[in-house]
Amino acid sequence: MTAKSIQVQDGSITGSLSGEAYRQAARSWLAANLPASFRSDSTAFVPPTLEQAAAWEAALYRAGLAGITWPTAYGGHGRTLREHLIANQEIGALPIPESVNSIGKELAGPIILAVGTEAQKQRFLPAILDMSNIWCQGFSEPEAGSDLAGLRTRAVRDGHIWRVNGQKIWTSGAYRAQRCLLLARTGPVEDRHRGLALFAVPLDAAGVRVRTIKSIDGKENFCEVFFDNVEVAQEDALGAPDEGWAAAIRVLAIERATNRMYRAWRFENELRHLVAACKADPILAELVQERHYAARLAETLVDIEVLKAHVETAVDALVAGESIGARGSLAKLHWSETHQRFAALALELLSKASLPLRPAVRVAQRRFEGLYLHSRAETIYAGTTEIQLGIIADRILELSRGK
């Protein structure tokens, strides 16, 4: 299909575009519609409010750049996973804020498509895409962070409802969410991997309490969520009660392998921004030419290319009908460690800038100071580095424990 086939009508990408034509349509729409104030590499950058962020994501959906692979019967665009990857590459190449509903679109939605009833798909999926329902993920607990099998939040069947009691922690964005993808125990703790169930819990239900946690960057995105005898309707139970562990593992495989598929292209944008800011400063311009820093920047670029390969390999596997399984841990381990090293390098370089600061350096410092603080958590959430290494050792390398 040629570029002449591109169709962008009424603010949406339409027609049977694929490959480069779809990429060009996506790029054109983003260039025409991205607010200048959303660009974090610009002096005009202003963090969007929740309402502005939600409106932007709803516009992305209407344009055909979200819900790309979901069936049209549930509000999706019915396109291919390769087109989903293309959209992520184009979105990732831009310095724009992260999604405020990535849990809904990249975790809850796929699991509902996999194990939800027809009524649940009709009820939940369109609301995720049009941003009328923002989701959070209730997996981690005070005594069971990455070790999900140790979680103690309990769901007990009581006639036609479930009663939920317990506590979740490090729940990103719970304060702004309408639904929580909750993993709860329905059997004995000793059974670990049995007797777990997933629920779509409304956060305005009686007995739910959300308390924000202030993090080192001054933000209050992480939350504690308390469930005190919360009544959850059977129609909000996702999948069979005893299959919660399998469903949770499927969620985490998605999260570790394909969640925020644009990461590698976002990291590349950050690297280019750092180098451009350095070139605007006489001291930094010389510094990035020195062997030590040139090598570290080159290593970052190589790491980004490896991460791109992880993503593209995962897409190839999914297109071929294969599951991601433990291979998701390879991608999670690589991106989190890579990004943490890059953020530290960026701050180290920018701290050596000449004074007074050039505007380009000031903008970069603002962006990368926030990125550095956020990156400290990246080797912890979605499964710590230690958990990923254990999964790789056990399930991919099949190493014997204790050797």
- For helices 328-350 and 291-319, what crossing angle results, to 10°? 150
Q: Are 101 and 40 in contact (CB under 8 A)?
A: no
Q: Which of 312, 314, 306, 309 is nearest to 341 (CA)?
A: 306
Q: Which of 97, 98, 115 is nearest to 181 (CA)?
A: 115
Rounded Cα distance between 375 and 372, Å, is 5
Q: Which residues contact 318 (CB under 8 A, 6 or more apart)?
A: 81, 258, 324
Q: Which two tokens stand for residue 360?
A: 């380009």
Task: Return the amino acid letter for 77.
Answer: H
Give alpha helix (H) positions in 216-358.
244-257, 263-279, 282-287, 291-319, 328-350
Residue 71 is classified by DSSP as: -
How would you label 295-316 residue by residue, b for 16+ Cβ within 10 Å and e otherwise? Answer: ebbeebeebbeebbebbeebbe
Number of Cβ atoms within 10 Å of the Cβ of 39: 16
The DSSP element (H or E) to which 12 belongs, if any, is strand 12-13
Query: Catalytic site residues?
Result: 255
Task: Return the amino acid letter for 325.
Answer: G
Q: Which residues contact 42 (CB under 8 A, 6 or more apart)?
A: 36, 95, 363
Q: Which of 334, 330, 336 is nearest to 397 (CA)?
A: 330
Rounded Cα distance between 375 and 103, Å, is 18
Q: State the pairing for strand pair 196-202/179-185.
A: antiparallel
Task: Return the amino acid letter for 386.
Answer: E
